């Protein structure tokens, strides 16, 4: 596939070759997966990144966010970086088990906004209506500021019988949610047809317009031509990436990071980029209560545990490339700084 030309950072680089100033960023330390990465350490030492210690809250935020823990995290974020003018334009917060915290950043933005959600899972569960990592898209859609969420890249088994998992298909019918899988077999459907960008209903099944195998330049052109010219927030779970570019707590998809960055660059050409949150680093799941442990055990695919040192090296390289690309876009006036 041919992607847009992107300058890539070497794993030990914190600034572009042209001396681009690092974008203001935030590290929420929930699980220790980020603080040992050399790229993060350099940004912290250089003063462009702020760290919030939240490891004591992690067991009550992982998979499902408890109300008290969520309130405490809000207070710590507000104390470290007041968000009256919106959140920092680049945020890292560890494992994809915490992806529902993306709604914290979205609720600090004034609308209308468009959300680009890149993930190996659609995170579209409508029930229960809690802040959990499989349902955060619906929490975000409840915000008056969020006009549309565009999900790109899922290749998980969430498409087998989505209604059994309370998938919010009504949001697709209403045009508030788009889902564009990397790969997905047709989904069994009961009830009214589901039609929208990325899918159509035929013979009692939702047929998904999958991205795998398509020329990526054409995919990028299509998104740019069709999506509204609204301010854009990007939420990236690195489990959408191939295993060579991310080591995560979940099963992974088929996107390349170059493809993701090419899409972001193109959309930034005609839309104001407000910022991006990034999760999908690896950490060993730890729970203080049987409820979250059971949810994790029943929902998480049975995969061999990765080597933490290998995970840190791979994820450090990918996170550095993300930070480098954001710095370059900010220098070009395409990104909030």
Q: On the CB side of 192, how many CA atoms lie within 13 Å of its CA?
A: 10
Q: What is the DSSP letter of 239?
A: G
Determine the pLDDT at residue 140: 97
Whole-angstrom CA distances from 304 to 2, 248, 285, 316 are 33, 11, 13, 21
Q: Report pLDDT for 86.
A: 80
Using 50 as the pLDDT threshold, list the residues of the chain that sit under it: 1-18
pLDDT at 126: 84
Q: So what's the pLDDT on residue 1?
A: 31
Structure tokens belonging to residue 299 = 């929902």
Contact 25, 50 (CB under 8 A): yes
pLDDT for the residue numbered 19? 64
Q: pLDDT value at position 16?
A: 43
24, 46, 230 from 50: Cα distances, Å: 8, 10, 28
Task: Report H helices in the chain.
Answer: 38-46, 58-61, 67-80, 102-106, 136-141, 169-173, 216-226, 257-268, 290-299, 308-331
Tell me the DSSP string of 258-305: HHHHHHHHHHHTTS-EEEEEEE--------SSHHHHHHHHHHS---PP
Q: What are the pLDDT digits (tens) for 87-145?
A: 899 999 999 999 999 999 999 999 899 999 999 999 999 888 889 888 999 999 999 99
Nearest Cα to 305, choosing from 331, 332, 286, 279?
286
Write down the pLDDT at residue 82: 81
Nearest to 41 by CA among 12, 10, 17, 81: 12
pLDDT at 129: 82
Q: How many residues comprise the chain? A: 337
**What pLDDT shows up at residue 85?**
74
CB atoms within 10 A of CB 216: 18
The pLDDT assigned to 295 comes to 67
Instruction: Report the 10 Å Cβ neighbour count for 225.
Output: 9
Domain annotation for the chain: domains and CATH numbers: 25-331 (3.40.800.10)
The reported pLDDT for the residue numbered 5 is 30
pLDDT of residue 337: 73
**pLDDT, tens digit (0-9, with 9 covering 90-100), for 46-100:** 999 999 999 999 999 998 999 999 999 999 999 998 877 788 999 999 999 999 9
pLDDT at 293: 66
């Amino acid at each position: 596939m041919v992607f847009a030309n992107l300058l890539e950072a070497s794993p030990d680089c914190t600034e572009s070759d042209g001396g681009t100033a690092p974008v203001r960023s935030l590290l929420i330390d929930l699980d220790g997966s980020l603080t040992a990465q050399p790229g993060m350490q350099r940004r912290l030492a250089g003063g462009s990144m702020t760290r919030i210690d939240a490891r004591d809250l992690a067991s009550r935020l992982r998979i499902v966010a408890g109300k008290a823990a969520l309130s405490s995290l809000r207070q710590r974020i507000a104390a470290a970086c007041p968000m009256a003018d919106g959140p920092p334009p680049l945020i890292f917060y560890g494992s994809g088990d915490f992806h529902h915290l993306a709604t914290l950043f979205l609720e600090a933005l004034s609308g209308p906004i468009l959300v680009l959600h890149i993930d190996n899972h659609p995170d579209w569960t409508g029930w229960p209506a809690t802040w959990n990592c499989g349902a955060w898209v619906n929490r975000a859609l409840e915000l008056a500021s969020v006009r549309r969420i565009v999900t790109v890249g899922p290749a998980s088994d969430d498409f087998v019988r989505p209604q059994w998992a309370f998938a919010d298909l009504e949001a697709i019918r209403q045009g508030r949610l788009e889902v564009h899988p990397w790969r997905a077999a047709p989904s069994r459907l009961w009830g009214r047809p589901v039609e929208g960008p990325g899918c159509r209903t035929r013979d009692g099944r939702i047929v998904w317009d999958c991205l795998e195998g398509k020329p990526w330049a054409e995919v990028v052109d299509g998104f740019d031509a069709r999506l509204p010219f609204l301010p854009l927030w990007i939420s990236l779970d690195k489990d959408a990436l191939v295993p060579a570019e991310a080591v995560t707590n979940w099963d992974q998809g088929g996107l390349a990071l170059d493809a993701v960055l090419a899409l972001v660059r193109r959309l930034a050409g005609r839309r104001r980029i407000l910022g991006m949150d990034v999760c999908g680093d690896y950490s060993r799941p730890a729970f203080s209560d049987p409820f979250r442990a059971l949810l994790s055990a029943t929902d998480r695919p049975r995969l061999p545990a990765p080597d933490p040192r290998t995970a840190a090296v791979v994820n450090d390289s990918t996170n550095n490339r993300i930070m480098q690309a954001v710095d370059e876009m900010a220098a070009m006036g395409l990104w909030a700084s």
